[in-house]
A and B are shown apart, each in its own frame.
Chain A
């Protein structure tokens, strides 16, 4: 059952891709060829797809944790930037450390930066009643401006608005000189699996989900709903920051204005299409990582570019929602009503 829906989803995305290409008057066969070549056509392309997929899935897992707790974190981008920025700053402070210590330190600091930035938004919702969905988007813009200032001011090194490149010894291990495939990709999958265990195998994860699913029940059980939501936000931000740390120490080695590349935004639909479940996020992360690598290649030869992905994601999210709603409204489906919808009916 699970596998059929995954296959149906991929088929649906493929149809959407063709419709979008048609709508933009791009030659179908040629465009698909370029996308295929860029995504899967060679070992180099396959490696690139995986490298693109890793940050998407990791951020998506982070976003899933927050959304499941009822905090609609759309600040993945800002948390990513906050993490990278804190890591780049601590590099300046600790650059004398040996590479083997420095690399992991930068990754940890990055996760901390993301966690703090997300926790601030969580605190605003829990204690001041400012919706996370609004505050995180404002914080995204603020983080981007701080980044812009930092890399063209205090952290700038050299003529371009870029921070100093970290030494090779502090970079994450790469398996071959020909591709960018790095150990962080494997780490991303391991962390995602670990988060699946956290969410569905521990009482902490259960409580975080319970708070989102049924705040009333959580309160009846004597839980401080706000505190659990805050914790979920911090964990969510930590994962987005961790993603930034991996991108920083594995690929770029330095931070610039376009450090985030929209990963935090793209990860939201990846999470939604993954059913807000880490396993689903791994699958949809892989699909969109490939699509990302493919459309990047397409952009080299035509007017179609990576912005096509946003369209496909937008359509996919909306049709998934509509499908879910239609299925729920059909009475003969044996789905038990979720506590969430019951709570809303009572309110």
Chain B
């Protein structure tokens, strides 16, 4: 059970943010990069300060900064979300690998840092995830703000004409997505391994996008999908540890095959926000 949660938590956090983000009509291809930055800065700040909680905070801030850059281009300037995301991912990969290399030139430095604490074996981050889940469920389905965000994802023009500030709602959804991507990314280095390696997110950002489509943009189903992902990852490691005859590459490839299978089964995105990934131009800017 602990295994399942441990492997699931990074994707649980990130996917809850991604649901809000996509519901607002945006596609976060840069999620991988935001998580990677959070994983690195979480590790680096913990190494410097000795305080994993500071690391977690630093990871969240790094993800927010990356998202600000992305939002500036996508929301403010109306750039293509996919190309922007690819740029953010490249930047994140280069920055983290180069910074890590520069930081590790002193061979005397410890490669591992203190992990986030547990309370008698219970992971407080699980509690945080639960609280966030409940809060988001209420906000997205019961609050006026959530309704407006969803309207921005379905018909931004209609939302705007009934007085919803589309760009502001999309920015706010971006902040939520960034904070959660930061928590998820930092948990990779601070919750699971206590170390950083190049490109350690290993495509989890894209797996999250797949899981969100699988869960039909519905928080509950998405989180359930994430738990399934965590279960599969944990099972892979356990079988490997037991000395299974199956080559380890099968387990390494399993999450990606699973994500792909899920996408194929989900088929055409019924239930997807109608304006997903389309830029919205404010009336003030048009003409």
Contact = CB atoms under 8 A, between A and B. Distances in A.
Interface stretch (A101-109, A123-131, A197-205, A247-255): A123-131
A335 interface: no
B260 A135 contact: yes
Interface residues of A, number: 49
B95 interface: yes
B260 A139 contact: yes
B82 A305 contact: no
Contacts of B165: none
A196 interface: no
B257 to A, nearest CB: 6
A312 B98 CA distance: 11
Contacts of A322: 72-73, 77, 79
Given A329-B285, A345-B281, A134 B249 contact: no
Given A321-B83, A347-B278, A307 B253 contact: no
A148 B250 CA distance: 10
B11 interface: no
Contacts of A140: 203
A321 B92 CA distance: 17
Contacts of A159: none
A313 B249 CA distance: 31
Q: At the interface, is chain B mostly helix, strand, loop or mixed?
A: helix
A32 B204 CA distance: 36
B69 to A, nearest CB: 7
B209 interface: yes
B139 interface: no
Contacts of A269: 86-87, 90
B101 A305 contact: yes
Contacts of B286: 345
A149 B249 contact: yes
B25 to A, nearest CB: 12
A141 B203 contact: yes
A325 interface: yes
B205 to A, nearest CB: 9
A303 interface: yes
B249 to A, nearest CB: 4
A183 interface: no
A173 to B, nearest CB: 35
B64 interface: no
A19 interface: no
Interface in B231-287: 247, 249-250, 252-253, 256-257, 259-260, 263-264, 267-269, 275, 278-279, 281, 285-286
Contact of B79 (A124, A268, A321): A321
Contacts of B93: 307, 310, 314
A218 interface: no
Nearest to B254: A145
B101 A128 contact: no
B88 interface: yes
A135 B267 CA distance: 13
Contact of A325 (B77, B256, B269): B77
B62 interface: no
A266 to B, nearest CB: 9
A169 interface: no
B72 to A, nearest CB: 8
Contact of B94 (A74, A129, A142, A308): A308
30 contacts: A25-B102, A128-B263, A128-B267, A130-B264, A137-B206, A138-B207, A138-B257, A139-B256, A139-B260, A142-B256, A145-B253, A145-B256, A269-B86, A269-B87, A272-B83, A304-B102, A307-B94, A307-B101, A310-B98, A311-B98, A314-B87, A314-B88, A317-B86, A317-B90, A321-B73, A322-B77, A322-B79, A329-B77, A344-B279, A347-B278
Closest 8 CB pairs of A and B: A310-B94, A314-B91, A129-B268, A311-B94, A314-B90, A145-B253, A307-B97, A325-B77
Given A148-B252, A310-B91, A325-B73, 14 more contacts: A72-B83, A124-B264, A134-B263, A137-B203, A268-B90, A269-B87, A307-B97, A311-B91, A314-B89, A314-B92, A318-B87, A321-B84, A329-B285, A347-B278
